Amino acid sequence: KDFLFNQFNSGATKVEHKARNGDSIQKILYDQKISPTEVNNVLNALRREYNVGTLRNDQKVYLIVKKEKNGNFVSRLTVNIDNITSIHIFLNKDNVYETKRVTKILTKKNHFIETTIDRGIYRTAKQSGIENSIVAQFARLYGFEVDFQRDLKKNDKIKIFYERYLDDDGVSQRTGNIIYSEITNAEKNIILYRYEYPNGSIGYFTPEGKSIERSLMRTPINGAKLSSRYGFRIHPIIGYNQMHQGTDFAAPIGTPVMASGSGTVEYSGWKGGYGKFISIRHSPVYQTNYAHLQDYAKGIRRGARVQQGQVIGYLGSTGSSTGPHLHYEVVVNGKKENSQTLKLPSAAPLEGNNKNFFEIQKRNIDNLILEASKKK
Specify the DSSP element, H or E, that contains 265: strand 263-270
The answer to whether 294 and 314 have CB atoms below 8 angstroms apart is yes
Specify the DSSP element, H or E, that contains 358: helix 352-375
Indicate the pairing of strand 107-116 with strand 335-337: unpaired
pLDDT of residue 123: 82
Q: How far is CA 114 from the centre of its chain?
A: 22
The answer to whether 293 and 313 have CB atoms below 8 angstroms apart is yes
Measured between alpha carbons, how far is 360 from 70 in angstroms, rounded to an integer? Answer: 70
Give the pLDDT confidence of 57-79 residue by residue, as tens digits: 888 999 999 887 777 888 899 99
Domains of the chain (ranges; CATH) run: 2-103 (3.10.450.350), 107-205 (3.10.450.350), 225-337 (2.70.70.10)
Query: Which residues are 137's β-sheet partners?
Result: none
Residue 87 confidence class, pLDDT cut points 50, 70, 90: very high
Phi, psi of 291 (to 5 degrees): -125, 165
The answer to whether 72 and 66 have CB atoms below 8 angstroms apart is yes
Measured between alpha carbons, how far is 181 from 207 in angstroms, rounded to an integer? Answer: 11
State the maximum Cα–Cα separation within the chain, in Å, rounded to a whole number. Answer: 79
Specify the DSSP element, H or E, that contains 140: helix 132-142
Give the pLDDT confidence of 305-316 residue by residue, as tens digits: 998 889 999 999
Q: Which of 17-21, 160-164, 222-226 has the lowest mean pLDDT?
A: 222-226
